[in-house]
Structure 1
Amino acid sequence: DIESSLSPTRSPCSAGDGSGLQSKSWSKLKSMVHFSPLAFTLKPRHSWVQLAGHTSFTAGDGGRLLKRYCECEQRCLEKLMKDVLRPYVPGYYGVLHKDEQDFNIMDDLLTDFDMPSIMDCKMGSRTCLEEELIKAKECQRLRRDMYEKMISVDPAAPTEEERAQQGVLKPRYMRWRETLSSTATLGFRIEGIKQKGDGSCNTGFKKTKHREQVVKAFEDFVDGDKSYLKRLEELRSVLEKSDFFRTHEVRTRFPP
């Protein structure tokens, strides 16, 4: 998501191996950067696969996506269209009013793929802004939904007080979530993977924390093909030249 700050795949990067397609240039392929939640259409039925994040996409026409409107995201997308990152992000085509709702219109980067392999990664060593933590501390509202998410992953994670209250504070949940995965240790985490072979989706990476676990996940995903490394190096070089990237904070958006 791009909100008031940058999130290039939701800060996240999505990598597709492009199997079944002729080789394309990096700028045309545009398969390394996507906007989370990682959802995409599969031709010709336009059925949806949701790997991670919040459901906010719907299918548009002509290989485009409609994403629920956000003004801050609109401003960021407009700026990206004038930045050196333009070839590495979805094209943006303005706002559409449909069914009494506004949507930002952008490219579906996977529209030319028949059997894509997808990995959704959340970039960053912290998934919240300092101002969000301050605001959440001032509010001090117990979140039962976050408590239930916590115990679904690790029943022993809540304190005795949190267990008695059947709720946790948002800052506490966010800090716990970051230390659970490789976010705090490696500066990114794997959210989900869809493999081209059987079309299976795996989102069981919440506890993939250690370097060895992450390396194994990448090795299984690429199956020996390391061509993506050159693309990531190219992307890094462009990010270092980008005015937009230099002047925006990268973050992942949590639900309010």
Structure 2
Amino acid sequence: DIESSLSPARTLCSPDDGTGTKSWHKLKTMVHWSPFVVSFKKRYPWVQLAGHANFQAGEFGRLLKRYCECEQQCLLKLMKDTLRPYVPGYYGVVQREEQDYNLMDDLLADFDSPSIMDCKMGSTYLEEELLKAREHPRLRKDMYEKMVAVDPGAPTEEERARQGVLKPRYMQWRETLSSTATMGFRIEGIKKADGTCNTNFKKTKHREQVMQALEDFVGGNTQILRLEELRSVLEHSHFFRTHEV
């Protein structure tokens, strides 16, 4: 799962006032989801577009994410990388109720009504995960039900009879269904400043569909969609070159 190694780099956010006047660097562009801690007294409810509930609200515009050593090492390296302005500031490990957490910036803390797009970049599984799953195959009823909910005709006769699928089969099917296989990323969900939320992107596969979703997200104001700037930084990032995404 990409979340275990590179979860800070999963969401693009647009300015919340619609004018494009907020600084893109102030926005910093990337965060998975957050409690929107704007001040000590002002808190917003969690917004989870995708992923697992591993976060807790912190103080002073920061948040806590359940400790993962691999992610800690990534965050420490990112603090010295050219990607530093685009990822949460990292402040080490803290403990709450006997549980360790990585403490990092909430990049949405300065916004009252941010627009959030959750994207999954690259493969959503590692080759070693597929190998383990093949060595110890286990039918997954939950993944079968997810598959049927999206495409009732997707399971094979054998999978239908067993009412389950193997994880590698599900993961690979999931990627060919979306733009991951053709474009290297997919959209998981969008929350707009007006509060509307859409997670119906499982079949957003073709380039035209993705472009339409991006244009709709920024309200047609492509001047604030600074992806070329981000691409340039990624091309010069040692971290990006040396990590699997």
Distance, in Å, in 2 between the alignment partners of 1:22 and 1:117 is 12
Q: Which amino acid aligns with 2:238?
A: D
Which of 193, 207, 211 is matched with 2:207 structurally? 211
The one-letter code matched in structure 1 to 2:136 is: C
Offset of residue 249 of structure 1: 0.8
In 1, Cα distance between the equivalents of 2:3 and 2:75?
Answer: 8
Q: Partners of 1:105 and 1:33 in 2: how far apart? A: 16
Q: Distance in 2 between matches of 1:244 and 1:2?
A: 16
Deviation, structure 1 residue 42:
6.5
Task: Name the counterpart of 2:59.
Answer: 61
**Alpha-carbon distance in 1 for matches of 2:203, 2:30:** 24
Alignment CA distance shift 1:216-1:23 (3 Å):
closer
CA distance in 1, matches of 2:6, 2:192: 28
Aligned partner of 1:172 in structure 2 is 169
The alignment's C-alpha RMSD in Å is: 1.9
Q: Say which SS state the counterpart of residue 235 (structure 2) adopts.
A: helix
Which of 98, 107, 110 is matched with 1:109 structurally? 107
TM-score (normalised: structure 2)? 0.91
Aligned to 2:36: 41
1:253 counterpart residue number: none
Aligned residues: 241
CA shift, 1:130, in A, is 1.5
Normalising by structure 1, report the TM-score. Answer: 0.88
Higher relative contact order (CA 8 A, sep 6+): 1
Match of 1:254 in 2: none
Could you tell me how far apart the structure 1 residues matched to 2:201 and 2:3 are?
23
Contact 1:2 1:72 in 2 (8 A): no
Q: Name the residue aligned to 2:75.
A: 77
Give the distance between the partners of 1:2 and 1:177, measured in 2 at CA. 17
Map residues 19-168 of structure 1 onto 2, 5 A cutoff: 19=17, 23-30=21-28, 32-34=29-31, 36=32, 38-41=33-36, 44-124=42-122, 126-168=123-165
2:242 matched to 1:236? no
CA contact (8 A) 1:42 1:114 kept: no
Deviation at 1:120, TM superposition (A): 1.1
Whether the 8 Å contact between 2:34 and 2:108 is mirrored in structure 1 is no
CA 1:21/1:227 → structure 2, altered by over 3 Å: closer, same or farther?
closer
| Alpha-carbon distance, 1:23 to partner | 3.4
Which amino acid letter does the alignment assign opposite residue 88 of structure 2? P
Q: Is the 8 A contact 2:79 2:89 kept in 1?
A: yes
* Cα gap change, 1:236 to 1:175, in 2 (>3 Å): same
Cα distance change, pair 42–51 in 1 and its aligned pair in 2 (3 A): farther
Q: Is the 8 A contact 1:40 1:50 kept in 2?
A: no
Of the structure 1 ranges 149-158 and 172-181, higher mean CA displacement relative to structure 2 is found in 149-158
3-state DSSP of counterpart to 2:143 = helix
Query: Percent identity at matched positions?
Result: 70
Unaligned runs of 5+ in 2: none
